[in-house]
């Protein structure tokens, strides 16, 4: 089956209707539990949040503000809507901010992106060794666990032996890690599939990896939100993930821009544990409407994402 589920094939209207219905339900519960979320919603009637135009009245919360909130109201700045004991873990990011991980299956929303990259329950996936602060790996490993795939941490002492013994057919890591692995191997393995973490690959970088892997996919994730968008069949386009409402706003403002204009990516996450509302990522791209060649109907994101951070 080429699609993870039928949610990916919904009409734009039905997806928007469901997203705002879920948003109202989540905020109705979370507002009393998360004081900073309650302050963000001041004077905003939750039952009237039915369209993107309604959402635009809520102020955007950006990274610097979240850091201040965490300093004032540790550990999660008054934005967590569940008990800390209900979490599976807390992860410190590169800038020292803490990020919660809940106990629900595929809490980060990575399974859908991995499925689009052709990962399946029968796969054995080699994961390059991360630094302790790199959250891409726990996010993607949770998705692999949700799919039922097996993960194997890369042993740099004897990678060729490890690959041979485990019959690993997938790889997750950065371009530099993939290139380093290639340089160490006498015989280059041809993995069936790979997700390369990091900025958009150039044509030359993809050519370098062609002898390393049959299919190469990328995605866009954030430690506050999990997987935001993922590559399916178009290398220059990323499919917006389900369970999110994505906006593009004029930089430094709360004002949404029309579809197609480049601006700051702002995300509302429909998650009952940590329902981030209009989080300003500091990253820049533009939305593209219309059905993807793969049949998915959600908005797409230009894969050339830049950051102001």
Give residues with Cβ within 8 angstroms of 194, minimum separation 6: 117, 170, 171, 172, 173, 178, 209, 212, 213, 215, 216, 217
pLDDT at 153 over 80: yes
Instruction: Give residue-wise pLDDT tens across range 87-98.
Output: 999 998 888 899
Q: What is the predicted pLDDT for the residue at 72?
A: 96
Give 1-86+228-309's CATH code, choosing from 1.10.132.20, 3.40.50.12780, 3.40.630.40, 3.40.640.10. 3.40.50.12780
Contact 1/243 with Cβ under 8 angstroms?
no
pLDDT tens track for 92-135? 888 889 999 999 999 999 999 999 999 999 999 999 877 555 78
Q: How many whole angstroms separate alpha carbon 273 and alpha carbon 82?
A: 5
Q: What is the pLDDT of residue 95?
A: 86
The ranges of the chain annotated as CATH 3.40.50.12780 are 1-86+228-309
* pLDDT for residue 147 is more than 90: yes
Mean pLDDT of the residues in the chain: 94
268 within 8 A of 244, measured Cβ to Cβ: yes
Architecture of domain 104-217: 3-Layer(aba) Sandwich (3.40)
Report the DSSP pairing between strands 263-269 and 244-249.
Answer: antiparallel
Q: How much is the pLDDT for 293?
A: 95
Say what the pTM is: 0.95
**What's the CA gap between 193 and 204, in Å, rounded?**
18
**Sequence ranges of the chain with CATH classification 3.40.50.980:** 104-217
Which pLDDT does position 217 carry in this prediction?
97
């Amino acid at each position: 089956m080429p699609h993870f589920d039928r949610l990916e094939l919904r009409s734009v209207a039905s997806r928007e209707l469901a997203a705002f219905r879920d948003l109202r339900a989540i905020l109705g519960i979370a507002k009393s539990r998360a004081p900073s979320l309650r302050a963000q919603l001041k004077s905003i009637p939750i039952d009237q949040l039915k369209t993107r135009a309604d959402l635009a009245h809520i102020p955007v919360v950006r990274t610097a503000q979240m850091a201040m909130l965490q300093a004032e109201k540790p550990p999660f700045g008054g934005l967590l809507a569940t008990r800390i004991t209900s979490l599976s873990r807390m992860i410190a990011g590169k800038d020292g901010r803490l990020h919660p991980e809940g106990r629900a299956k595929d809490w980060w929303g990575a399974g859908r992106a991995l499925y689009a990259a052709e990962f399946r329950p029968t796969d054995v996936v080699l994961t390059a060794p991360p630094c302790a602060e790199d959250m891409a790996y726990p996010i993607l490993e949770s998705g692999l666990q949700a799919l039922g795939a097996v993960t194997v941490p890369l042993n740099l002492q004897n990678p060729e032996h490890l690959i041979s013994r485990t019959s690993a057919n997938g790889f997750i890591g950065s371009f530099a890690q993939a290139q380093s692995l290639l340089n160490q191997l006498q015989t280059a393995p041809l993995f069936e599939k790979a997700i390369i973490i990091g900025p958009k690959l150039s044509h030359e970088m993809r050519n370098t990896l062609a002898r390393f892997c049959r299919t190469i996919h990328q995605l866009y994730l954030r430690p506050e939100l999990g997987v935001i968008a993922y590559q399916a069949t178009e290398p220059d386009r990323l499919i917006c993930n389900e369970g999110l409402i994505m906006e593009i706003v004029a930089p430094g403002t709360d004002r949404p821009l029309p579809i197609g204009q480049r601006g700051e990516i702002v995300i509302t996450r429909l998650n009952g544990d940590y329902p981030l509302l209009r989080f300003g990522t500091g990253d820049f791209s533009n939305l593209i409407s219309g059905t993807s060649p793969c049949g998915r109907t959600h908005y797409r994101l230009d894969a050339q994402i830049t950051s102001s951070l």
